[in-house]
Structures are given as structure tokens and as C-alpha cells.
């Protein structure tokens, strides 16, 4: 890495990242007492464009932060990059993993508690009225493949049952589920650690899905690559794992191979309740934390945006490889940064015609969850839905530009689908190359109202 690159590498530790949000005016500090039973999450839903730090949580000394990565402005402030350079920064980190380093001590082990009653020490919220219990939503689960020694880091929710007992939701197809099933076949429990308040590099590594991160890649090495420095790891106390030494809170335990209980409902990222389903029992052996820990809760909006720039970078790389006329892509907030995509194209010659359709299939291959793709020319701002809708209104002909893909695999959380299978749709609102119709947008001369004497005072009509 050259000197110029080094100047653009921020400190991605959790505390330093919070500090940058604070300096940027993006951390709203709440001094009034707030209850973890529905009240905290209700407040978080009211202010999703800034992170919120609750300094007075009823019944707990621990502070709580939410909406940490809840909007793009927060993410860009933490990374100190614009969108394009952030995609490159993360992509370069993924392509250049670094080995972590072992340290003997760290602030995360300043306070130790054995066989804890979790609700006595941890401010676990109840998010929505029909939730099955209180939840851990911001925990990164650390596990290790017993055969390869590769470390796995991933997000999974936990519902508190009683004392030191939790239920973990293990979705089908996830790496952690594969590790649990491998242990289950041997009749063994799976040792895990749950990390709260990890380095942002690890938070992003834990959020990567699918082909971007094959199972034989170590997530600690990926996190070190994203952060541009080795992740400092410390030995766990009761399980054969390592965890980040500067995290906020760590819980150690194991997932049972044979005991399952009903978990849910829970307010999922799609804004709907999950189904109640059998989930493995997790027993926590111990917890340890900083002297003044900050508990991180992840709300429905923060979960999708955590993956936005990862997914956009991967999609852009895939579509440009098959459609060179593509200039940019944008996952939309209304599509939860997961289901809807805008593609901008610039057809420089007749040979580019048709490639915009190829881009649709390349995008879906990169992210199976995409259900709606809109293609526009690059004079349209793909980050502005009103501009995209204008393109649909003036440049889209359904008889020519509508593409339907029946029976396609998507995300199983979409209730209108049949266990994730539905018809995907693309809308090609790009103009044919050489189109000579009346389509040019009329430019409006710019004006600055600050140059004029204006008033909102009543009267003077």
C-alpha cells in the first residue's frame, strides 16, 4: 500500500467509529431514562437517519447504541469515503485478506461473569409487541470449522429463554448452520462466542453472503483486510475460540446438537414478523466486557444497509463483466437494499444494444434476492426514485421493455412468494441506441435564492 492509500485508511474500531459519528453530528445522545421493553426500539424507529446513544437505560448501567450503520451518511462518515471509493475500499480489502494477530489481553475482558443470568446484566430489548421474547440482534457469532480450523463470523439473532439460555435462529444455507449440522452428526455441541461492538471491518465481514466469501475463507482474515490492519484477537475463557480484544461484550457458550425449542415471532428486516419455528438451544457459560460497555442493537433498517455497499460492489463487478455499457448500479431503500436494483447504462454504439438486458441476468446471478430491476440511461439519477420514475413515465414501453422471469429463486422471507420462488421482473426504460424521438431533457438555468431579498413574513400582498 502506498503512502496516499494509507492516508485514506480510517480507524474502524467500534469506539473510534462512534467518535467520528459524534464529530459529524450523526450521533444523537438520549439523556432521559428509556425502557428496553418496546420504548427503546420505538424511539429508534423515529430517528433512523442518525445513530442514537442511550445513556440512561432503565435497570442497567450499560449504555446502548442503535442505528449505528442505519443510513448511508453514517457509513460514509465512518469510512471517510464517498460511495465509489468506499466500494473500492471494501473490494480491495476482500481481495487482500490479512492474518490477524494474537494478543494476551484486551479491554473486552476487564469484567468477567461466570454462568450469568443474562437479563441481569445485558439490556436485551423487546423490539415489537408480538416478539417471542427479548432478543440479541447485533451479535456476531464466532465459530470454527473443526476440520479446517477456518474461523466463521456471521450475524444471527438470539431469543432469550431464561437465565443463561438462548435460542439461535439458523437459516438454511448459512455457514454456521453447516458447522452446527456437522457437530450434530457427531453428537457434539458447537462452541461459539457472541461478540457485541466489534471492529467495523469484522461487522462487514460477518455480513458478507454467498460467493463473495467462500466457506474456506477465514472471516478474521477478511476483516483484517477490510480494516487494512490485523485484527487483534484474544483467547476465549471457556471455549477453543478467539475473539476481538477491543470489542464491547463477549458471551461464550455452545449450541446444543439435540435440544430445540420454539423461537419467534420476531420483527424481521422485511418489516414483518417471522414465523415461529424450532431453533437450537444455546447455553452461555460466561460473559465479559469493558468497564463501561456499549451494547449494540441492530434494527430492521440497519441490517440491510450493512450489506448495501458490499452487494452493490459485487453486482457492479458482475454486470460490467458481461455488459460494458453499465455505468453504475444502486440498491434502493424501498427494496430494503436487497430486492430492487436500478442500473444505469450508456450505449455508445449500436453494438451496446441488448447488453442492458444481459446485465439483468448477471445482476440476479450476483444476488439471487433481486426481484425488480429497472434499467435507465445514465442521464437519470439512479439514486433518486423520482428521476427513475420519470424515465419510466417517458421512456418505458411495457410491450417492448418488460422482462418476466417466472419460477425464480428469491428470498424466503417475502411472504407473497412460495417459499422464496416467485416471478422476477425487469423494466428496460433505456432508450434504443440512436433514438431520435423527442426525449432530450430541457435544462433549467440554475438560480440561488440567497441572491434575492425574500421573506416569509405575512402581509405585504
What is the chain's mean pLDDT, rounded?
91
Write the pLDDT tens digit of every residue in 309-348: 888 988 999 999 999 999 999 999 889 889 999 999 999 9
Residue 211: predicted pLDDT: 53
Task: Output the CA–CA distances (angstroms, integers) from residue 366 to 197, 214, 242, 266, in the order listed.
Answer: 29, 14, 32, 28
Class of CATH domain 323-428: alpha beta
Alpha-carbon distance 36 to 245, whole Å? 27
Alpha-carbon distance 88 to 90, whole Å? 5
Residue 131: predicted pLDDT: 92
Write the pLDDT tens digit of every residue in 59-96: 999 999 999 988 889 999 999 999 989 989 988 998 89
3-state secondary structure of 26: coil
Write the pLDDT tens digit of every residue in 21-50: 999 999 999 999 999 999 998 999 887 778
Point out the least confidently predicted range of 146-150, 304-308, 375-379.
304-308
* Percent of the chain with pLDDT strictly greater than 90: 74
pLDDT band per the 50, 70, 90 thresholds, residue 210: low
CA 345 vs. chain centroid, Å, equals 27
Q: Reply yes or no on whether the pLDDT at 259 is more than 70.
A: yes
Residue 192: predicted pLDDT: 98
Under a CB-based contact definition with an 8 Å cutoff, are residues 257 and 184 in contact?
yes
Residue 3: predicted pLDDT: 39
Under a CB-based contact definition with an 8 Å cutoff, are residues 118 and 163 in contact?
yes
Residue 4: predicted pLDDT: 39
Q: Reply yes or no on whether the pLDDT at 303 is more than 60.
A: yes
DSSP alpha helix (H) spans, 96-248:
118-121, 175-185, 200-207, 219-227
Residue 457: predicted pLDDT: 87
The DSSP annotation for 381-441 comes to -TT-HHHHHHHHHHH--HHHHEEEEEEEE--TT-TTSBTTEEEEEEEE-PPPTT--SS-PP
Alpha-carbon distance 48 to 70, whole Å? 6
Alpha-carbon distance 132 to 261, whole Å? 12
Residue 166: predicted pLDDT: 98
How is domain 3-302 classified at the CATH fold level?
Pnp Oxidase; Chain A (2.30.110)
Enumerate the domain spans of the chain.
3-302, 323-428
Alpha-carbon distance 202 to 335, whole Å? 25
Residue 213: predicted pLDDT: 67
Alpha-carbon distance 280 to 257, whole Å? 7
pLDDT band per the 50, 70, 90 thresholds, residue 2: very low
Point out the least confidently predicted range of 105-114, 200-209, 232-241.
200-209
The residue among 438 and 327 whose pLDDT is bigger is 327
* Percent of the chain with pLDDT strictly greater than 70: 97
3-state secondary structure of 75: helix
Q: Reply yes or no on whether the pLDDT at 454 is more than 70.
A: yes
Radius of gyration from C-alpha coordinates of the chain: 24
Write the pLDDT tens digit of every residue in 344-400: 999 999 999 999 999 999 999 999 999 999 999 999 999 999 999 999 999 999 999
Under a CB-based contact definition with an 8 Å cutoff, are residues 223 and 195 in contact?
no
Point out the least confidently predicted range of 41-55, 183-197, 201-215, 315-329.
201-215
Cell output for 350: 449500436
pLDDT band per the 50, 70, 90 thresholds, residue 1: very low
Under a CB-based contact definition with an 8 Å cutoff, are residues 289 and 316 in contact?
no
Amino acid at each position: 500500500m502506498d503512502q496516499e492509500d494509507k492516508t485514506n485508511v480510517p480507524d474502524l474500531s467500534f469506539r473510534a467509529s462512534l467518535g467520528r459519528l459524534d464529530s459529524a453530528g450523526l450521533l444523537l445522545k438520549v439523556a432521559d431514562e428509556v425502557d428496553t421493553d418496546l420504548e427503546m426500539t420505538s424511539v429508534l424507529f423515529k430517528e433512523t437517519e442518525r445513530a442514537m446513544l442511550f445513556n440512561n437505560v432503565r435497570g442497567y448501567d450499560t449504555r446502548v447504541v442503535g442505528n449505528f450503520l442505519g443510513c448511508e451518511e453514517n457509513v460514509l462518515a465512518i469510512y471517510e469515503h464517498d460511495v465509489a471509493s468506499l466500494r473500492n475500499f471494501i473490494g480491495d480489502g476482500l481481495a487482500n485478506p490479512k492474518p490477524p494477530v494474537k494478543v494476551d489481553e484486551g479491554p473486552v475482558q476487564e469484567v468477567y461473569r461466570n454462568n450469568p443470568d443474562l437479563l441481569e446484566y445485558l439490556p436485551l430489548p423487546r423490539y415489537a409487541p408480538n416478539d417471542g421474547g427479548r432478543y440479541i440482534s447485533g451479535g456476531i457469532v464466532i465459530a470454527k470449522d473443526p476440520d479446517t480450523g477456518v474461523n466463521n463470523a456471521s450475524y444471527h439473532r438470539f431469543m432469550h429463554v431464561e437465565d443463561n439460555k438462548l435460542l439461535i435462529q439458523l437459516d438454511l444455507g448459512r455457514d454456521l448452520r453447516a458447522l452446527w449440522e456437522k457437530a450434530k452428526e457427531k453428537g457434539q455441541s458447537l462452541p461459539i462466542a457472541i461478540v457485541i461492538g466489534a471492529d467495523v471491518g469484522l461487522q462487514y465481514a460477518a455480513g458478507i453472503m454467498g460467493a463473495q466469501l467462500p466457506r474456506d475463507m477465514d472471516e478474521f482474515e477478511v476483516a483484517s483486510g477490510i480494516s487494512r490492519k490485523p485484527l487483534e484477537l484474544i483467547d476465549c475463557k471457556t471455549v477453543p475460540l478467539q475473539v476481538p480484544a477491543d470489542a464491547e461484550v463477549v458471551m461464550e457458550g455452545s449450541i446444543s446438537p439435540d435440544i430445540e425449542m420454539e423461537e419467534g415471532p420476531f420483527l424481521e428486516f422485511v418489516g414483518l414478523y417471522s414465523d415461529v419455528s424450532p431453533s437450537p438451544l444455546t447455553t452461555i457459560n460466561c460473559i465479559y466486557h469493558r468497564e463501561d460497555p456499549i451494547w449494540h442493537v441492530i434494527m430492521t433498517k440497519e441490517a440491510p444497509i450493512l450489506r448495501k455497499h458490499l452487494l452493490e460492489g459485487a453486482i457492479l463487478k458482475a454486470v460490467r463483466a458481461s455488459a460494458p455499457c453499465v455505468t453504475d448500479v444502486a440498491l434502493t431503500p424501498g427494496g430494503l437494499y436487497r430486492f430492487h436494483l436500478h442500473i444505469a447504462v450508456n450505449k455508445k454504439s449500436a453494438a451496446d444494444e441488448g447488453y442492458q438486458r444481459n446485465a439483468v441476468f448477471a445482476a440476479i446471478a450476483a444476488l439471487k434476492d433481486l426481484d425488480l430491476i429497472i434499467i435507465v440511461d445514465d442521464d437519470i439519477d439512479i439514486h433518486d426514485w423520482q428521476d427513475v420514475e420519470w424515465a419510466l413515465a417517458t421512456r418505458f414501453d411495457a410491450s417492448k421493455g418488460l422482462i418476466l422471469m417466472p419460477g425464480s429463486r428469491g428470498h424466503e422471507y417475502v411472504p407473497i412468494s412460495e417459499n422464496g420462488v416467485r416471478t422476477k421482473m425487469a423494466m428496460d426504460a433505456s432508450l434504443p441506441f440512436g433514438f431520435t424521438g423527442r426525449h432530450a431533457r430541457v435544462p433549467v438555468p440554475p438560480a440561488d435564492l440567497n441572491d434575492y431579498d425574500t421573506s416569509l413574513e405575512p402581509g405585504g400582498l
